[in-house]
Structure 1
């Protein structure tokens, strides 16, 4: 009798696990305004690979990546290359984001970036932009560590 009850309990647990839908993995929402604090750039070619980390200056941290709920937004990049803080790049964007896989495609007025969002929480995320040139056998990526502004 004990074995039958144990078998029924195991069968119930197994059927419960099988009946669960393969729901989308719930990740924190990327909607909001983000500032970059660090970028790691990696380059791989026939000569090997190289990675370099860049920490953003106070001026560069005034840059903003905005992701709206309707898959639109903007990117404003600030830089202090000429000793004064100024806008170095500005564009509206449209994006497609898959929260299950983390894949993202960002369309600017002048081009497109493809990448992946990882380690996203309510306050931080990593955005990896990848560039692969099959003709030149090169791979480049930039991983931006961002902090939510609001």
Structure 2
């Protein structure tokens, strides 16, 4: 396993500081979820604290800064892209952890601006370029920033 270059680690630390308000919201949500059985763990691959078995929501995951709130037991499950779910095309399944990792990277760039920009771009829908970019990253391993 190769280590990240020092400049990339520095950018990740600066991004984590920049998005700390979002991370605090995620940690608060995870802490409340722990009262109902959520289990926290650190995922170095995803640069996030993952709360598995988070008890609320329709299923899947939501990312808040460097926190992923996940309703299932394994974030590495296969899921459909937003475009596939919306009937726009047929695409192969993606991994949920890859999709959510793209959102972590997006948060590292936009910090506290992420949530308002994300909502202005359409929220949780196929119209949102942040969701399409996360799906693209999950399919191809690159391109997590919206085009």
TM-score range, shorter chain: under 0.3
**TM-score when scaled to structure 2?**
0.23
Structure showing greater Rg: 1
Higher strand share: 1
Report the TM-score, using the length of structure 1 for normalisation: 0.23
Higher relative contact order (CA 8 A, sep 6+): 1
